[in-house]
Amino acid sequence: MPLTSGKDAIREALREEMERDERVFLMGTDIGAFGGDFRTTAGLIDIFGPRRVRDTPISEAAISGAAVGAAATGLRPVLEMSFIDFLGCCMDEIMNQAAKSKYMFGGQISLPIVWKGRFGAGASHAAHHSQSLEAVFANIPGLRIVVPSTPRSFKGLLKAAIRDENPVIYMEHKLLYNMQEEVPEGDIITPIGRCELWREGSDCTLISWGRMSSLCLEAAKSLSEEGISCEVIDVLTIKPFDKEAVLESVRKTARAIIVHEAPVFGGFGAEISATINEEAFGWMDAPVRRIGFPDIPVPFSPALEQHYLPNAARVADAVRSCLDD
């Protein structure tokens, strides 16, 4: 089976879903002849034409407003938003229209919209292009949030998001576009609402998503040389959150460390930590630890950004400290 990159997996998912369902169409800036800022839509306009691969002005609010109307009439828009940071420009459409309409109309309409965009730091894209905003959207009832971490989940989660009857925020880490993995051709679906166990262990559970899952796996492999056994869980879906998978793991290991790229204060790691505290406190041998960003904007300077980012060494140190408690 040939290796597939993250960006190619996204393009495959879009092509396959557009071939499968004529209601699926794309909207976004420079997604047509240019192929998107990161080439994730390259060639799709040649297959499906400008009616289904729609170049738009640089207006996230206009794109999102058009998508709400299109979805309400039975279409399934996928919105290329470039960077997840700019979903702030269309929060009314996301928060007050898409997320609430199904509830407010008593289930009579669905708004199957996918907002897809890049997130995360590590590429010196500075404060406006490097944020991880999953916790912001997790606090809005009616939305689903997915965060793929490998080419296989890039494809499987995007296909699942397009088929879902709810509005979905699809967050793709820009530094995973060139990751390569064997990805089956055809119809593979990664279920929304399910964590994935990457590595079994007995001493501590490492919980993360996006690029941080690979970082945790790296730390776990390093610690295994010291005789420390870490379980690694890739969350994949922020909302709905698969708490049972996490609780099952921490009841076995009795320790947990949560790693994410958002600031620790108010990050989604706090929700996971609270869940463990409320439902598995009696099994824990040490307090839950969280690793993330300090409460400042992402710096542009490469040196400062690397200091700002979590790394495998910090995760390994946290595990050792946790085992000493």
| Cα-based angle 233, 235, 236 (whole degrees, multiple of 5) | 130
Q: Is pLDDT at 73 greater than 90 in this prediction?
A: yes
Percent of the chain whose predicted confidence (pLDDT) is above 90: 95
CATH topology agreement for domains 3-182 and 196-324:
yes
CATH 2.40.110.10 is right for the domain spanning 3-182: no
Q: Is pLDDT at 1 greater than 80 in this prediction?
A: no
pLDDT tens for each residue of 120-137:
999 999 999 999 999 999
Percent of the chain whose predicted confidence (pLDDT) is above 70: 100
Q: Is pLDDT at 203 greater than 90 in this prediction?
A: yes
CATH number of the domain located at residue range(s) 196-324 in this protein? 3.40.50.920
What is the pLDDT at residue 325?
Answer: 73
pLDDT tens for each residue of 91-114:
999 999 999 999 999 999 999 999
For 6, 30, 31, 189, 289, the CA distances from 44, given in Å and listed in that order, are 17, 12, 9, 21, 44
Which tokens in the block code for residue 69?
């109307």
Q: Is pLDDT at 185 greater than 90 in this prediction?
A: no
What is the pLDDT at residue 2?
Answer: 79
- Write b or e for each residue in 182-200: b if 16 or more Cβ atoms lie within 10 A of its Cβ, otherwise e: ebeeeebebebeebbebbe
Whether 308 contacts 121, CB under 8 Å = yes
Domain boundaries, the chain: 3-182, 196-324
Whether 164 contacts 192, CB under 8 Å = yes
For tokens 């400042």, name the residue: 296
Q: Which of 125, 129, 173, 260 is catalytic?
A: 129
What is the distance between the alpha carbons of residues 271 and 240, in angstroms, rounded to a whole number? 12
> What is the arithmetic mean of pLDDT over 300-310?
92
**307 or 253: whose pLDDT is higher?**
253
For 62, 75, 102, 106, 164, the CA distances from 72, given in Å and listed in that order, are 16, 7, 10, 14, 14
Look up the pTM and report it: 0.96
**Within 10 Å of residue 281's Cβ, how many Cβ atoms?**
9
What is the pLDDT at residue 228?
Answer: 97
Assign 261 a pLDDT band (cuts: 50, 70, 90). very high
What is the pLDDT at residue 242?
Answer: 98
Any catalytic annotation for residue 129?
yes
